[in-house]
Amino acid sequence: MAPLNSIVLAFFSFLSAAQASAIPLLNGYHRYSARNNSLQWSDCSVGLPGRECTRFEVPLDWHNDTAGKASLAVIRYPATKQPKLGTLFMNPGGPGGSGLQTVQGPDGDVIMEHAGGNYDLVSWDPRGVGQTVPRTACFETKAEEDAFWNGSILKAFRLEVRGNFTSQTDLDAFYSKLNESDTLAQRIGEQCVTHSPNTFQYIGTAATVRDMVAMHDVLEGSEKINFWGMSYGTVVGAYFVNMFPDRVGRVILDGVVDPVYWANRPAHEWLGNVFESTEAAFDGFAKECANAGPSHCAIAEQNSTASSVRQWTLDLIDSAYDYGQEIGPSAQLNSSLIRGLLFSQLYRPQNWTTLSQILYEFKVALDNPASLNTTQAKRWLQLPDSIDPIDNKLRPRQEPTSDETNLAYAYDYEGIACGDAQDPGDATTKDVFDIVVNVTHRISPTFGPAGVERLSRPLCHRWPVRAVERYTGPWNKTLSNSILVIGNEADPVTPYLNAKSVADAFGGSAVLIEQAGYGHVSRRMPSNCTISAVQKYLIHNELPKQDNFCEISTKLFVEPLNATSISNTLQ
């Protein structure tokens, strides 16, 4: 078995290579040159074989040509089976998820397989994301960015809490950051629109939908449009089918974000929806670990129960909190690090054996803090926050500066999410802080404090720009073809109730699949039943006659601890 650190770092090298090897802009490109409306494919220079890449130019403002143009980075994975049935567009999530990186990597093969292989799979870096131009840059270098944030919880994503805000000291410490956070939330918006003027107002989801329609028209003409949206991609899908109801072909919404929360309600209320089923996902981890026993789950004992595994993990978080309070800011290990790791890996249940090993190593380290200098756990302390791109912590970065180790993040998430958001109204930053506490007390006591990792969107009341075109409904148009909506029973960030709400709104224009199990979007814990329904729909346009429940076909904690392949963490 290869060393854990080397495997994970190799994965990041792959992502870095994919990002650094840019799809070149078309000759003579500048923002106000004439648009090239064709798609000329060539082999992609990175990623798995069989993919083709190109550029596609679109108006920045679909209702005002004088605003200039954007250049989308586009990827195609040609159909692997005959007959070819057309093009299937796909958005992997985010906002800020790179279609290029998703299709270039192993997930592209998984999606192609689940789709049946009869479609060209086409995705792209949406406006503001990855290699698409103009970019959502707010700083020249990471050093400049770090100096701006200076350790603020809004960027460090570190909130130390014992239990579920049961300590008044923790509450006081949290609210003591309110004024600073309010000021920084306003300043970052000002910084972004100053650094990248006339950019952020053009990256909203409605424009992304129009971009997809334009690409389809070049590729397939007047045929109906097929689309598979995952996570935030379901927002793209919900916008599309309601903006263009007569052009709906075979559309799948998988891991559903509620478009009403996204576009019609105060942005900070979204946090309550996000964490609706996170505890159920955590309970699933605890139950599956206990059932697997100590030979397959490192934190299980012979007579463990779901309750005892859950309590073991909560005790570990509290121990890390105590250690962090004792050592202070220099502590290498604290509660927010463990909470964040646990939360991010609820996305991918097939990582849970590895997750249990990491948690066990953290326990060993906390029982003997001096071992942090030598234990395997130290390797994890030196790694980025998350190894899951869909968790949006590996946002695409700007092109390298002269110092390629000093890169500034793109602010695509903030720009897209806040660009789509409701107007600020009378929302305040205190409202945002209050909802983090309320979510912790009432909805997700374990992960509510991790809400600071999601504060970019709740703080949209301070973002100075809204998209020039916003779609705000209705969300129940009658569609030219019925769509398929999929929700996992215990998805950690897009609760099943979202899928049901969206499907119910469409009435006879949608069929709903409730998939048992855990993870974020259906492919994270595959179900043969769901895959069969997807393929029948995409290949034959046949949907289940009624809403359906699908059991999962994936077993967890299957490999013994001494034979676990850590590389599964990267799949």
Q: Is the pLDDT of residue 76 over 80?
A: yes
Q: What pLDDT does residue 463 have?
A: 96
β-pair partners for 76: 52, 122
Residues of the chain with CATH 3.40.50.1820: 4-134+202-260+475-550
Q: What pLDDT does residue 417 have?
A: 96
Q: What pLDDT does residue 381 have?
A: 61
- At which residue do the structure tokens 């550029």 appear? 55
Specify the 3-state DSSP secondary structure of 289.
helix
Instruction: Report the b/e string of 489-518 with b at 16+ CB within 10 A.
Output: bbbbbbbbebbbbbbebbeebbbbbbbbbb
Q: For residue 340, give every residue at least 6 positions away whose Cβ sits within 8 Å of its Cβ, in sequence order, or none.
A: 157, 385, 386, 450, 453
* Helix and strand totals (H; E) in the chain: 20, 10
Can you tell me the mean pLDDT for 476-505?
A: 98
Q: What pLDDT does residue 75 have?
A: 98
455 vs 130, which has greater pLDDT? 130
Q: Is the pLDDT of residue 70 over 80?
A: yes
Q: What pLDDT does residue 151 have?
A: 75
pLDDT tens digits for range 252-277: 999 999 999 999 999 999 999 999 99
Q: What pLDDT does residue 47 have?
A: 79
What value does the mean pLDDT of the chain take? Answer: 88
119 vs 570, which has greater pLDDT? 119
**Cα distance between residue 71 and residue 7, in whole Å:** 34
Which strands form 483-490's sheet, in the order they lie side by side? 42-43, 52-59, 69-77, 119-125, 86-91, 225-230, 248-254, 483-490, 510-518, 548-550
Instruction: Report the b/e string of 364-394 with b at 16+ CB within 10 A.
Output: ebbeeeeebeebbbbbbeeeebbbbbbbbbb
Q: Which two tokens stand for residue 316?
A: 């570990």
Backbone Cα Rg of the chain: 23
Confidence of residue 382 (pLDDT cuts 50, 70, 90): low
Can you tell me the mean pLDDT for 131-153?
A: 90
Q: What pLDDT does residue 393 have?
A: 33
The C-alpha angle with vertex 425 and arms to 419 and 431, in degrees rounded to 5, equals 95
Q: What is the pTM for the complete model shown? A: 0.91
Q: Is the pLDDT of residue 207 over 70?
A: yes
Query: CA nearest 351: which of 111, 7, 10?
Result: 7
The C-alpha angle with vertex 40 and arms to 37 and 45, in degrees rounded to 5, equals 130
Winning range, highest mean pLDDT, from 135-139, 160-164, 409-413: 135-139
pLDDT tens digits for range 295-336: 999 999 999 999 999 999 999 999 999 999 998 877 888 898
Domain 4-134+202-260+475-550 fold is Rossmann fold (3.40.50)
